Structure 1
Amino acid sequence: MKAIVYRDNGGPDVLRLVERDLPVPGPGEVRVRIAVSGVNPTDWQARSGAAGPKRFPEVTPHLDGAGVIDAVGEGVDQSRVGQRVWLFMAAAGRPTGTAAEFTVVPAEQAVPLPDAAGFDVGASLGVPALTAHRALTVAEDGPSRLRPGALDGRVVLAAGGAGAVGHAVIQLARWAGATVVSTVSGPEKARLATAAGAHHVINYREGDPAAEIRKVAPDGVDIVAEVALGANLALDLAVLRTRGTISTYANDGGKPVELDVLRNMVLNARFQFLVLYTAGPEVRAAAAEDVAAAVRDGALPVGEEHGLPLVRFPLDRTADAHRAVEGGAVGKVLVDVAW
């Protein structure tokens, strides 16, 4: 089979297209013929060494993807063969991710994909959707699971609504019944956040964004899903309600975070820092179940018309796909794996 590998940490040029033997699923595992592989910032961070040195002599990257189960290991129901699935955390703690014609994952990390949902949708879930779910389910007085109605009466602020996680926050929050506000940096990203389903979209570079958000949420925002905590903290605190939650999954721009302790004490503010690797298996499993339910309801479409443009590369140009993600490509970067 064809696979992308790297043997040393470094820039995109360390990625190589090679031939490898077909993997064999072990007990509790499934083998998936990959149709589309999704690329996330964490993938290039792992490749570059920014997330720490690689753990295996050779690594096939990418956590997310979608395809069809073509073999199962001992203890896995044989009826799963032929099932369309989306994968999450495929390369987490393992040397083989989804940038290959076939990969092997634990059976629970291959989630059934409805026939109505294309492989593009499946490959775009994983890290963005599970991260969004976590961001929306950590509030002290909020739900720990998502379903229609779970966020009724709540206001969610999706910072950076044109990004992959921000897009998933908008879609999941709206599916769960929240009023969704999104902040963006310009008209094009505003168009994307609106297409994703945000009820209110505000350009944080113009006018008084805090006042505009307070018009929507006079009592304050319940949950902020934050992509750039250092840059946006002042705005977040200006609109956060008492006992509100700031869920931060990134600090784009790298601006240092300085906390006014007294102000946060008075607000009883909750900060939840999150990353999927250390969230725990129960949290990831619950998120996968809820995301799967949202997919069945048609709540997580992708593509330009749904606010998440797709940027595509063939398998032999995976290095270019990494360059696109590192360069801040707007939308979701996908790698098409030839069948």
Structure 2
Amino acid sequence: MKAVVYREKGDPVVLKLVDRDVPEPGPGEVRVRIRASGINPADLVMRSNPRWPLPFPELTPHYDGAGEIDAVGPGVGTFARGDRAWLFGAVTPRAAGTAQEFTVVPASSARPLPDDASFELGASLGIPALSAHRALTVAEDGPRRLAPGALEGWTVLVAGGAGAVGHAAVQLARWAGATVIATVSGPEKAALATAAGAHHVVNYREGDPATEIRTAAGGGVDLIVEVSVSENIELDLAVLEIGGTIAVYAGTGRELHLDVTRNIALDVRYQFFYLFRDAERLAAAADDVTAAVRDGAMGVGEEHGLPLLRFPLAETAAAHLAAENGVVGKVLLDLT
């Protein structure tokens, strides 16, 4: 089979296309014929950042993907050969990322992909959708699981509504019954956030975004899904309801300086989180995301607010470069 690997940190040129034996699933594992492989910022950091040492001498990248179950190992009762599945957390101690024709993962890292959901959608879930789910379920007085009605009466602000996590947060929050406001940097991204399902879209670079957001919310917002808290903190505090939550899933690495008195007066809860720390919570989130897909609440492609950029497996380096250059949309490897 064909696989992409790298053996050293560096630019996308370190990614090499090689031939490998098809792996065999062990107890509790499934082998998946990959049809689409999703690329996330975590994959780029894993490949390039010297502060993240390589966990194995050779690594096949990409945590997320989708395809068909090709074989099941002993003790697996949740899947059968031929089942469609989406994968998350696929970079395991066996170095089985999804940038290859076949991969082996624990059955717990796979979920059923409905027949009417594309492999491209399945490969776009993973880190973005699970991060969005976590951000939407960290409020002290909010739900721990998502389902229709779980966020009824809540107003959610999604910062960066045209990004992959922002896109998933808009769709999941809307599915769960929230009023969804998204911030964007321009008209092109505003169209994407609207297509994703945001009730209100605000360009944070124009006019008075705080007033626009508070007007759309009918007051303050209850929960903010935040991509860049260092840059957005003033706007966040200007629109947050007293007792509200700021859920931080990413950032630029800059320091965050807080006015203690102001934050006490607002009774603010900040929740920073690392997605893969809590396996039980991650599994529950994957179940909820699968339910949202089954309900038709999740979609990709420009008509759903997330353009797709497809590359063949042999052009994985070019795909990484496109993602690093900040292309708008989701970058995928197409292995069909």
Q: TM-score, normalised by structure 2?
A: 0.98
Distance 1:51 1:98, change over 3 A: farther
* C-alpha contact (below 8 Å) 2:78/2:107 kept by paired residues: no
Q: Please tell me whether residue 326 in structure 1 is matched to residue 324 in structure 2.
A: yes
Amino acid at match of 2:60: T
Amino acid at match of 2:296: G
Question: For 2:115, what is the secondary structure of its paired residue?
Answer: coil
Structure 2 counterpart of 1:90: 90
Deviation at 1:19, TM superposition (A): 0.1
Structure 1 counterpart of 2:47: 47
Write the distance in 2 (CA, Å) between the matches of 1:214 and 1:92: 44
Distance 1:130 1:214, change over 3 A: same
Structure 2 counterpart of 1:35: 35
Deviation at 1:325, TM superposition (A): 1.1
Q: Please tell me whether residue 17 in structure 1 is matched to residue 14 in structure 2.
A: no
Write the distance in 1 (CA, Å) between the matches of 2:118 and 2:93: 27
Deviation at 1:51, TM superposition (A): 5.5
Write the distance in 2 (CA, Å) between the matches of 1:34 and 1:113: 13
Question: For 2:167, what is the secondary structure of its paired residue?
Answer: helix
Structure 1 counterpart of 2:297: 299
Deviation at 1:50, TM superposition (A): 4.9
Question: For 1:80, what is the secondary structure of its paired residue?
Answer: coil
Render the CA deviation track for 1:62-114: whole Å, top value 9, x for unaligned: 00000000101110138511100000000144412000000000001110000
Write the distance in 2 (CA, Å) between the matches of 1:330 and 1:63: 20
Write the distance in 2 (CA, Å) between the matches of 1:134 and 1:320: 31
Q: Please tell me whether residue 281 in structure 1 is matched to residue 279 in structure 2.
A: yes
Write the distance in 1 (CA, Å) between the matches of 2:311 and 2:183: 29
Write the distance in 2 (CA, Å) between the matches of 1:94 and 1:47: 17
Amino acid at match of 2:235: L
Give the ranges of 4+ consecutive aligned residues of structure 1 lying more than 2 Å apart after TM superposition: none
Structure 2 counterpart of 1:262: 261
Amino acid at match of 2:262: R
Question: For 2:120, what is the secondary structure of its paired residue?
Answer: helix
Amino acid at match of 2:282: R
Unaligned runs of 5+ in 2: none
Structure 2 counterpart of 1:137: 137
Deviation at 1:49, TM superposition (A): 2.6
Write the distance in 2 (CA, Å) between the matches of 1:50 and 1:156: 36
Render the CA deviation track for 1:231-254: whole Å, top value 9, x for unaligned: 1010001001111000011114x4
Deviation at 1:255, TM superposition (A): 4.0
Question: For 1:288, what is the secondary structure of its paired residue?
Answer: helix
Structure 1 counterpart of 2:169: 169
Render the CA deviation track for 1:275-294: whole Å, top value 9, x for unaligned: 2122x101100100100000
Render the CA deviation track for 1:212-231: whole Å, top value 9, x for unaligned: 01102233111100011111
* C-alpha contact (below 8 Å) 2:158/2:180 kept by paired residues: yes
* Paired residues for 1:113-132 under 5 Å: 113-132=113-132
Unaligned runs of 5+ in 1: none
* Paired residues for 1:163-312 under 5 Å: 163-252=163-252, 254-278=253-277, 280-312=278-310
Distance 1:284 1:157, change over 3 A: same
Distance 1:141 1:79, change over 3 A: closer
Distance 1:160 1:135, change over 3 A: same
Deviation at 1:132, TM superposition (A): 0.2
* C-alpha contact (below 8 Å) 2:276/2:282 kept by paired residues: no
Structure 2 counterpart of 1:317: 315
Write the distance in 1 (CA, Å) between the matches of 2:202 and 2:308: 24
Question: For 2:194, what is the secondary structure of its paired residue?
Answer: helix
Count of paired positions: 336
Write the distance in 2 (CA, Å) between the matches of 1:102 and 1:180: 38
Aligned-pair identity (%): 66
Question: For 2:180, what is the secondary structure of its paired residue?
Answer: strand
Deviation at 1:263, TM superposition (A): 1.0
Deviation at 1:262, TM superposition (A): 1.3
* C-alpha contact (below 8 Å) 1:72/1:78 kept by paired residues: no
Render the CA deviation track for 1:275-318: whole Å, top value 9, x for unaligned: 2122x101100100100000000100100011000011000000
Computed over aligned residues only, the root mean square deviation of the Cα atoms, in angstroms, reads 1.1
Render the CA deviation track for 1:171-222: whole Å, top value 9, x for unaligned: 0000000000000000000000000000000000001100001102233111
Q: TM-score, normalised by structure 1?
A: 0.97
Structure 1 counterpart of 2:3: 3
Of 188-197 and 69-78, the range deviating more from structure 2: 69-78
Question: For 2:193, what is the secondary structure of its paired residue?
Answer: helix
Amino acid at match of 1:290: D
